[in-house]
Structure 1
Amino acid sequence: MSEWKVLLTDGLEENGQAILRQFATVDNHSGISAEELLEVVGNYDAMIVRGRTKVTPAVFEAGKNLKVVGRAGVGVDNIDLNAAKAKGVTVVNSPTATTIAVAELTMGLMLAVLREIPRADAGMKAGKWLKKEMEGGELWRKTLGIIGFGRIGSAVAQRASAFEMNVIAYDPLRTREEIEQRCGCSSTLDDLLEQSDIISIHTPLNDTTRNLINEDAFAKMKDGVYLICAARGGVVNEEALLAALESGKVAGAGLDVFAVEPPGVTPLVSHPRVVCTPHIGAQTVEAQVRAAEDIATEVLAALKGEPLRWKVA
């Protein structure tokens, strides 16, 4: 048995823990505070986090034995990659595990917003028969603009094609040929904003994408457009979105992510034409089992010095 020690800060499915325990001691400190993390991280060779734990420069400084940080999921905006590089710590994630879950939630948000499913359900539970008031829209033959056409964006495109939607996509990291192979038609960002009936966002949060969907972007969109975001909070400027909803420029929005999480009962969250979920894109049983296996094997590979599939830094 190796003397490697692995710290779990946000929990991990048992199948992943079992893989780790074959080669390392695993300590599950789910929910650990930032202060407690700084006190104990120096004892570990590896740490596996989800989105809650912030792996700051101070954490890397305190982690004197830290060799690898694993993110059970896709986004690594909660991990300071520059600090990781400065300390020689490898960062890996599990980007494929949650693709299906997020893509399916995206389609669910589209249907919920266009058909006002939450409002209809709330009415029924309140003893109201709102049939005459409920006249929604169809996905059929709508133009879906997908911003960010990686694994999740292209998975959404595949599912949208089953609804006979017209899919256009913008992704500066993909060639026209790649986008066309993934069930999309390549577009510039401006053309996508102008032509789409529904816009779905699937980009990471970074300096390039922060506030990408802002007041100027909304001004270019069709009147009555629908906006879906199950990517990262901060890509959509929430003040600009609220103003667009109030003006009628945006007919409805489906949001799984927010700039501040949890956001509380804000005017955007409580808006009658917004369907909100609490960042549950990856929260399926199947996705969590896949993510646990993927990140456990990747972290062990990093500790062993073996080739990595998903090295971020």
Structure 2
Amino acid sequence: MKKVVISEFMDEAAVEDLRADHNVVYDPTLVDDGDRLLAELADAEAIIVRNRTQVRGALLGGAPSLRAVGRLGVGLDNIDLDACKAAGISVHPASGANDLSVAEYVITSAAILLRGAYLGFDRMIAGEWPRQDMSGGELSGKTLGLAGFGSIARETASMARALGMTIAAMDPFVPEGDAAWDGVARHEDLASLAAASDVLSLHVPLTDGTRDMVNADILTAMNPGAVVVNAARGGVVDEAALAAALRNGQIAGAALDVFASEPLTKEDGAKFKGLSNLILTPHIAGVTVESNTRVSALTAKNVRSALA
């Protein structure tokens, strides 16, 4: 039986499915115990990870039999793709399996931020009755700007259209003549997109070109009633600049599910302290009960096929 190591949480049914014909080591705490993880990988042929396990360097060097990496999600910035390719290791993201949950997160966050009615419970408890302050606005009639126009962004656009939103997007990797642009205002750069957006949602990987792409200049280009949602990758937003923009009323709100440093520490989180127009969540936009089942099942299938 081929050995499969799973270092982060996975749906139990998918784990049991793999156990039927593989030697499976499943321990979601392995990601935090590097020595034990390396010991288990010494004779493993596959590893299944989420976003925290760093599949690079010492890990790859200590796994001479590794043939496949299953990714419980779609982002691959924690995996050294070049090193895997050179070693003949195939990499398998769970493409499409969590599109719906991320799209719902973006739309829900945007609605909460624009409406403003859900962020003032402390004032209600204190005996205030701030009807005017908490009335807010609607999604309908607003423009959703998508930085990146892949499958998750397109799912988000579909939901937004159903709620009466107008769609704008930028993505240099989607050809101008692609049918995906039908009914979508195409922008060539982020500054132009940001200026046109009531909701700016990010759907890009973290690369040298996207790091801190939402910076002080981009935030300045946005209108004061606009909001930013990042459920893509930490590091594509300059967090200090965003916190400053929220404090001085430069934009109306933001939702961050991903951070430059994860897990977010008390020290890193201090910059956001006291902001009432901010939603922070621990990298769970793509993780729901339903999506975890889909992602895990697809990853188990991918790994089984790779090891066949």
After TM superposition, the score normalised by the length of structure 2 is 0.92
Instruction: Assess if the C-alpha contact under 8 Å between 1:196 and 1:225 holds in 2.
Output: yes
Deviation readout 1:187-218 (Å, 9 max, x if unpaired): 22232122112211111112221111112222
**Any stretches of 5+ residues in structure 1 without a counterpart?**
305-313
| Structure 2 match to 1:159 | 159
Q: Which moved more, 1:138-147 or 1:32-41?
A: 32-41
Instruction: Assess if the C-alpha contact under 8 Å between 1:144 and 1:168 holds in 2.
Output: yes
Opposite residue 13 of structure 1, the aligned amino acid is D
| SS of aligned partner of 1:132 | coil
Alpha-carbon spacing, 1:21–1:237, altered in 2? closer, same or farther (3 Å): same
Offset at residue 117 of structure 1 (A): 3.9
The answer as to 2:304 corresponding to 1:300 is yes
Opposite residue 31 of structure 1, the aligned amino acid is T
**Distance (whole Å) between structure 2 residues aligned to residue 122 and residue 223 of structure 1:** 24
**Any stretches of 5+ residues in structure 2 without a counterpart?**
none
**Distance (whole Å) between structure 1 residues aligned to residue 73 and residue 126 of structure 2:** 38
Overall identity of the aligned pairs, in %: 38
| SS of aligned partner of 2:38 | helix
Deviation readout 1:206-235 (Å, 9 max, x if unpaired): 222111111222233233321111111111
Offset at residue 158 of structure 1 (A): 0.5
| Structure 2 match to 1:109 | 109
| Structure 1 match to 2:46 | 46
Instruction: Assess if the C-alpha contact under 8 Å between 2:117 and 2:134 holds in 1.
Output: no
Opposite residue 108 of structure 1, the aligned amino acid is T
**Distance (whole Å) between structure 1 residues aligned to residue 181 and residue 301 of structure 2:** 33
| Structure 2 match to 1:308 | none
Alpha-carbon spacing, 1:227–1:29, altered in 2? closer, same or farther (3 Å): same
**Distance (whole Å) between structure 2 residues aligned to residue 79 and residue 287 of structure 1:** 22
Offset at residue 139 of structure 1 (A): 1.1
| Structure 2 match to 1:148 | 148
Offset at residue 53 of structure 1 (A): 1.5
Instruction: Assess if the C-alpha contact under 8 Å between 2:117 and 2:136 holds in 1.
Output: no
**Distance (whole Å) between structure 2 residues aligned to residue 228 and residue 164 of structure 1:** 19
Size of the aligned set, in residue pairs, is 301
After TM superposition, the score normalised by the length of structure 1 is 0.90
| Structure 2 match to 1:245 | 246
**Distance (whole Å) between structure 2 residues aligned to residue 57 and residue 94 of structure 1:** 23
**Distance (whole Å) between structure 2 residues aligned to residue 51 and residue 23 of structure 1:** 26
Q: How does 1:43-192 map to 2 (within 5 A)?
A: 43-176=43-176, 177-181=178-182, 184-189=184-189, 190-192=191-193
